Structure 1
Amino acid sequence: MSDQTAAPNHTADPYEYLHIIPNPDGTIGRPEEFYTITKASCDPTQEVISRDLVFNQSNNTWVRLYLPTKALDSTSNPSKLPLIIYIRGGGFIIGSAGTTIIHDFCNTMAADLFAVVLSVEYRSAPEHRLPAAYDDCMEALHCIKTIPDEWLRDYADYSNCFVMGTSAGGNIAYHAGLRVAADIDHFRPLQIKGLILHQPFFGGSKRSGSELRSKDPVLPLFVTDLMWGLSLPIGSTRDHDYCNPTVGDDSKKYDPIKALGWRVMVTGYSGDTLFDRQIQIAQILEDAGLEVVTKFEEGGFHGADVLEPSKALELFVAVKNFISLPSKTT
């Protein structure tokens, strides 16, 4: 385990653990020294170039677009590239699409998958509680078809699109996927082929086995409780359907995804506090008749693929295989 993933010295104060400051008005401070930002770069000597596109100026929401530089040579790469819409983690409360670790992850993903990656910047809680993040990602998906950008126009294959999210982003990808599938015509010509739920962030009032035994150095249980407390609608418990996909009895909600032939990939590590939740969502989707591919590994911890480059490479091999599978329907 690298030094940056080792458990720091801390009290059981989740604010201190996350390097955030609770403000009297219910917002939180996020000191810049702990959440460094990397700017997009169009340097053609780099393996991947990137730039930012605003889709809602009022909400300060935008996307960062990543393009492998080799794609600019149309003679050697005449075909358009898969489009990966990526949604970052951060427990709904910290981070940005520009956060250095997120930028580096997306940069590597675009290179390794040889794909156009579009990373969504959504509003954070508690300033903007759920469903704000879901709404922002829905707006980003809708605006893709109207954003006047030549990289998207010339290099992204709108007929071969996947929505991928890490941690809280996996939760957002799940909920946004349900909404998009139920109103698919609104998002044409974007054709989503599947969802990639990368160590997705789910919970519930009753503790799971992996939560009770967790020694996760990145995401201890008391931190997940704070994240849900700051992000769920005020007065909600962890059995709100934003958090717990097992609540309710609406099995038909997956019918639109099934009818569209989307496949779903779910990943996780046994050392992750959320591991049992990840196994559970994979089983729920499989029981609903969806095509589910899993990548569950022993050991690890929450965010291992983002924090450790060697694990990221293994993940991207699995994701590349997943997006290369033939579609059942179009």
Structure 2
Amino acid sequence: MSELTPITDPYAYLSITKNPDGTITRDLTKFQCTPATPNPSPQNAVVSKDISINHSTSTWMRLYIPSSTLNDTVSPPKLPLIIYYHGGGFVLCSVDLLVFHDFCSAMARDLNAVVASPSYRLAPEHRLPAAYDDGAAAMAWIRTSEDDWIGSHADLSNVYLMGTSAGGNLAYNVGIRSAATDLSPLRIRGMILHHPFFGGEERCGSEIRLVDDQVCPTSVSDVFWELCLPAGVDRDHEYSNPTVGEGSGGLEEIGRLRWKVMVVGGEEDPMVDRQRHVAKMLRRKGVEVVEVFNEGDVHGAEIGDPVKRKPLFVSIGKFISDDGL
């Protein structure tokens, strides 16, 4: 018998089973989760804690902060705030997965930043725009939060929306939605779209070239879109394909607000051409865009490979600094 691949059976590859009522059964043993690390120690460069956001939607947030900030007896300068949304095709994964926990911890340490990683409801039980609603609700919670880590150490005038894969799509759509909203004292400076998850009905060049990709081929992406998009729409819906009709009117507002957008991808990601198309569309709308596309990198490369994180965080550090790239 041939070895299982995502191309031959994407549902089995994702360890999910469709149920007659429209829900899915997930294999929760597939991913390793880890608790927060709230106690500073010499081995803990970053501390984290979990905070409930909305009991009715069961959404919550894991907050990360450099230990040195909490240990400083003199009031240190406030740190940039990065609101980070995890990946998983809107169908899988959670904030407390070990790979995302390690990624956010390393980001808080290397960028000397506060990182807030909110959860969101998953599809198909909660189809889009539920995840966007939860992403926006997390920002609203931060805006009025009385949490000491946020109030004492996060610079709410220096905020970036970031996400990986589906989280990148989420950050993009929450950003578009938020651009025309008064979020004060929260001030968004830009978006960091890390291997953002975009799609479309007609196959793009990279999807054709990498049709046999073993990480996230189009057969797997198709399953994610089938499960997360609103019922009855195709992959050219604006949630999946923001280039249809040259995007939302919110893009002009992003340009007017002078947000910066960083698009990070890998040349061996089937979605890389779509990510480039979105970057070009943003430029046409007058948005300042920085592109970082790495040779040889697969979808979400820096999540799975800690060695690749250092150069990524160096690039992000330059992006969020006044000097830019």
2:20 aligns with: 24
1:37/1:99 contact within 8 Å kept: yes
232, 235, 245: which one pairs with 2:232?
A: 235
Q: Distance in 2 between matches of 1:67 and 1:314?
A: 20
Q: What per-residue deviation string (whole Å, max 9, x for no partner) do you get for residues 253-297 of structure 1?
A: 311111111100001111001000111111110111111111011
Shift of 1:77: 6.7
100, 109, 112: which one pairs with 1:111?
A: 109
6, 9, 13: which one pairs with 2:4?
A: 9
1:55/1:147 contact within 8 Å kept: no
Q: Match of 1:145, SS?
A: helix
1:44 aligns with: 40
Q: How does 1:55-66 map to 2 (within 5 A)?
A: 55-66=53-64
Identity %: 50
> What letter corresponds to residue 171 of structure 1 in structure 2?
N
The question of 1:188 aligning with 2:212 is answered: no
Structure 2 residue runs of 5 or longer lacking an equivalent are: none
Q: Match of 1:248, SS?
A: helix
Q: Distance in 2 between matches of 1:245 and 1:312?
A: 28
> What letter corresponds to residue 272 of structure 1 in structure 2?
D
Shift of 1:306: 0.4
Q: How does 1:91-110 map to 2 (within 5 A)?
A: 91-110=89-108
Q: How does 1:242-261 map to 2 (within 5 A)?
A: 242-249=239-246, 252-261=249-258
Q: Distance in 1 between matches of 2:236 and 2:255?
A: 25
153, 157, 162: which one pairs with 1:155?
A: 153
Shift of 1:251: 6.3
More deviation in 11-20 or 107-116? Answer: 11-20
Superposition TM-score, scaled by structure 1 size? 0.93
Structure 1 residue runs of 5 or longer lacking an equivalent are: 1-7
Shift of 1:147: 2.3
Q: Match of 1:84, SS?
A: strand
2:5/2:214 contact within 8 Å kept: no
1:218/1:303 contact within 8 Å kept: no
The question of 1:262 aligning with 2:265 is answered: no
> What letter corresponds to residue 282 of structure 1 in structure 2?
A
118, 121, 131: which one pairs with 1:120?
A: 118
The structure-2 alpha-carbon separation of the partners of 1:156 and 1:275, relative to structure 1 and needing over 3 Å to count, comes to: same
Count of matched residue pairs = 318
Shift of 1:326: 5.2
1:251/1:288 contact within 8 Å kept: no
1:90 aligns with: 88
Cα RMSD after superposing both structures: 1.5
The structure-2 alpha-carbon separation of the partners of 1:302 and 1:210, relative to structure 1 and needing over 3 Å to count, comes to: same
1:217/1:301 contact within 8 Å kept: no
Q: Distance in 1 between matches of 2:223 and 2:246?
A: 27
Q: Match of 2:179, SS?
A: helix
